[in-house]
Amino acid sequence: MSVSLKELCQMVNVPYDQARALIESESSDGASVEREEATMEDTVMEDTVMEDTVVHADLSGGLEGEEASLLAPEQVQFDTDREEDSNAEEGAPPRKRLRAEKTWKKVINKKRRMVGKSYVGKQKQKEIMREPRAIGPRCSSAACAKSAKHHCSAIGTPERNNIFNEFWQHMTWEEKRMYVHGLIDVVPVQRRRGVIERRLRDQDVYLPAEYVNLMKKARVKPHPYEVKYIDHTFFQDFTKLRLCKSLRPGVRPGDPTVHDIRAISYGTQQEVLLMYD
């Protein structure tokens, strides 16, 4: 990297004419002025190269491969820019800048989440720091200890740690899904319970009318059930029936009375037939 006297004056905010006049006054001829400018350019270039070397050594020391991309993405980006500047200084044609996706914060955050490290998550549109994955406590259920199918106590602490580390540190998301799927036994459903049946489970019902509220609360989305408590009017409306005003066979004195009736028959055409002595 070379800097002329004019560019140097612009960097330090000093008038170029004043600086040149000062150099000419201290020098014997114009050649000395040119030598002075060349000396200044060489000094600036050496300082820049030394500074780049020191910064590069401090930033990249002790980092390799994935660790450098995970722990210090700014350092990798700085190295890429420095190489592009060096190619431009050598006079080589500028090459197209490549997308360093491994150094993006979004990609690094996804990588840390996949390997079980702490990462930046979101909760109600706010960024929060998620804790790293940690192995949970051992199973202390008394039912598992008595069960003949559960063998929680047969797995020791070293095996638990090996499974945990292998799952979170060396598997991708697809490999994690395949691993979990291989540990699951799919059994067909023997009986499907409805929404209302699940709601009525473990509920104390003392009156038939209480079923109405429980059925309405059984489903909320997309909308509750429409429940109607029915009575005898749902089956037959007795308000429109033709009632018989009297069963007496006759109305004159000496005619048969109700006490003389021995049988009553109702016909299909709403007629009433009486049998009496």
The structure tokens listed for 7 are: 């560019």
Q: Tell me the pLDDT tens digit for each residue of 153-205.
A: 888 899 999 999 999 999 999 999 999 999 888 888 887 778 888 888 888 88
Q: Which one is predicted more confidently, 51 or 253?
A: 253
Mean pLDDT of all residues in 240-250: 76
The structure tokens listed for 84 are: 């592009």
Q: Which residues does residue 263 pair with via DSSP β-bridges, in sequence order?
A: 275
Q: Which one is predicted more confidently, 156 or 92?
A: 156
Question: What's the confidence (pLDDT) of residue 42?
Answer: 52
DSSP the chain: ----HHHHHHHHT--HHHHHHHHHHHSSSHHHHHHHHHHHHHHHHHHHHHHHHHHHHHHHTT--HHHHHHH-HHHHHHHHHHHHHHHHHTTPPPPPPP--GGG-HHHHHHHHHHTT--EEEEETTEEEEEPPP---PPP--HHHHH-SS--GGGS-HHHHHHHHHHHHHS--HHHHHHHHHHT------S-PPPHHHHHHTT----STTHHHHHHHHS--SS---------GGGT--GGG----S---S--STTS--GGGEEEEEE-TTS-EEEEE-
69 with 102: CB under 8 angstroms?
Answer: yes
| Separation of alpha carbons 17 and 168, rounded Å | 66
Mean pLDDT of all residues in 212-220: 87
| Separation of alpha carbons 188 and 229, rounded Å | 36
Question: What's the confidence (pLDDT) of residue 21?
Answer: 77
Name which of 26, 7, 169, 1 is nearest 89 in CA terms. 1
Q: Tell me the pLDDT tens digit for each residue of 37-91.
A: 555 545 444 444 444 443 343 433 444 444 444 444 444 444 444 545 555 555 6
The structure tokens listed for 76 are: 């990798």
The highest-confidence range among 39-43, 130-134, 194-198, 213-217, by mean pLDDT, is 130-134
**Confidence band, pLDDT 50/70/90 cuts, at residue 273:** confident
**Confidence band, pLDDT 50/70/90 cuts, at residue 92:** low
Q: Which one is predicted more confidently, 81 or 242?
A: 242
Name which of 170, 154, 162, 225 is nearest 196 in CA terms. 225
Mean pLDDT of all residues in 217-243: 81
Average pLDDT, the chain: 75
Task: Write the CA distances from 60 to 40, 56, 68, 98, 107, integer angstroms.
Answer: 30, 6, 8, 20, 20
Question: What's the confidence (pLDDT) of residue 160?
Answer: 92
| Separation of alpha carbons 27 and 24, rounded Å | 5
Task: Write the CA distances from 137 to 82, 117, 141, 148, integer angstroms.
Answer: 49, 19, 12, 22
242 with 267: CB under 8 angstroms?
Answer: no
**Confidence band, pLDDT 50/70/90 cuts, at residue 118:** very high
The structure tokens listed for 262 are: 């021995």
